[in-house]
Copies of this chain bind each other. A is one copy, B any other.
């Protein structure tokens, strides 16, 4: 079949012309039909006080009968709202693809937005400068009524930027600086500490950590959690290799750690994709998992259950996080304030990739 040229409204014919004609009903039609003013229809629609109960009922009934849907565009212009929330993701798309966090997070967000008639505007940008520019454009275009701020960084410049823009924001996690925005957080240090204790309990002494980026809050926080858990277990500081959270960097780190004269007997990875790459590297080097080296991850992505050996990891709940963040942002926008939310800590899920170290 050769590529062809398509015009709008081609071979497939519309069978529902009623849809199109009914799309033209306006508030004026409803007002006339109900015998009231447009203003009153608006009041009834928006549940504002000052409309007699029976009048309101009649208005809503007429609206229903006429198939009236208030024009979002007109409402936006006059009320200066956009009925949409924004999420800007600044990551290399290649890296992004291997991290299922955002798709689950977005699915969680949608469960609260959809029933409210709100939309999600998504941007994927290559770097922080573009991200800041995107926020400015989003605000000057009036595209969104608020945004989610993810992947918090050390001294995150985006917080001041969003505060300057006056854009209602919810941060995913608590920033390391004064922030005017509510934070929806999940404790991830607990899971790292649990991982270390689990491995120490199995008898491991040389435990290494493949950390995420120290410039990112969850990277540095997990690294700190690792260090203090190691000390608490009397195992010293433990060897640490920092990465940018990417699979490639995780594989490199694993290769470096396992190629040493005295390699660790266990490695705690800061996320699942790196841990899975770590399993691959070990196998490639002829090092058995978990007999020769135990491996743990973080996130519990779906792959974790299906690689071999199945990955012992910390279970994050991005869907729940998305739901909570959306509810909080909505509350902030509607009431002008919102409380911080602390989600239940992520817990260790024990599978096959960690076991007692081989003797010797």
| A interface with B by C-beta (< 8 Å) | 1, 3-16, 19-20, 23, 69, 71-74, 76-77, 80, 82, 84, 93-98, 100-104, 106-108, 110, 114, 117, 119-125, 134, 137, 139-143, 159-160, 163-166, 168, 174, 178-183, 247-248, 251, 273, 276-277, 279-281, 283-284, 301-303, 305-310, 319, 332, 336-342
Q: Which of B7, B122, B283, B305 is close to A122, meaning CB atoms less than 8 Å apart? A: B122
Measured between C-beta atoms, what is the minimum distance from A139 to chain B in Å? 8
Q: Which of B19, B159, B284 is close to A12, meaning CB atoms less than 8 Å apart? A: B159
Q: Which of B7, B101, B281 is close to A337, meaning CB atoms less than 8 Å apart? A: B7
By CB atoms of chain B within 10 A, which of A97, A106, A137 has the most? A97
Instruction: Give the chain B neighbours of A281 by CB distance below 8 A.
Output: 306, 308
Whether A110 touches B124, Cβ cut-off 8 Å, given contacts A8-B166, A73-B142, A102-B103, is yes
Whether A122 touches B106, Cβ cut-off 8 Å, given contacts A164-B15, A182-B6, is yes
Measured between C-beta atoms, what is the minimum distance from A349 to chain B in Å? 15
Nearest neighbor of A179 in chain B, beta-carbon distance: B12
Q: Which of B5, B124, B309 is close to A107, meaning CB atoms less than 8 Å apart? A: B124
Measured between C-beta atoms, what is the minimum distance from A295 to chain B in Å? 13
Whether A14 touches B164, Cβ cut-off 8 Å, given contacts A7-B337, A120-B121, A281-B308, is yes
Residue contact A276 to B247, C-beta cutoff 8 Å: no
Q: Which of B5, B71, B125 is close to A110, meaning CB atoms less than 8 Å apart? A: B125
Whether A121 touches B84, Cβ cut-off 8 Å, given contacts A5-B337, A307-B307, A339-B3, is yes
Residue contact A180 to B84, C-beta cutoff 8 Å: no
Q: Which of B77, B178, B284 is close to A73, meaning CB atoms less than 8 Å apart? A: B77
Nearest neighbor of A76 in chain B, beta-carbon distance: B73
Tallying the copies of this chain within the complex gives 2
Nearest neighbor of A13 in chain B, beta-carbon distance: B163
Interface residues of A, dominant DSSP: mixed
Tell me the bound Cα distance from A247 to B141 in angstroms: 41
Residue contact A9 to B94, C-beta cutoff 8 Å: no
Instruction: Give the chain B neighbours of A303 by CB distance below 8 A.
Output: 98, 247, 273, 276-277, 303
Residue contact B124 to A122, C-beta cutoff 8 Å: no
Instruction: Give the chain B neighbours of A84 by CB distance below 8 A.
Output: 121
Residue contact A340 to B6, C-beta cutoff 8 Å: yes
A-B contact pairs, 15 of them (CB 8 A): A3-B340, A9-B166, A14-B164, A14-B166, A19-B164, A93-B103, A93-B319, A94-B104, A98-B302, A102-B103, A119-B141, A119-B143, A121-B122, A247-B305, A251-B306
Tell me the bound Cα distance from A182 to B2 in angstroms: 12
Instruction: Give the chain B neighbours of A23 by CB distance below 8 A.
Output: 139-140
Whether A122 touches B125, Cβ cut-off 8 Å, given contacts A8-B337, A97-B100, is no
Instruction: Give the chain B neighbours of A7 by CB distance below 8 A.
Output: 180, 336-337
Measured between C-beta atoms, what is the minimum distance from A113 to chain B in Å? 9
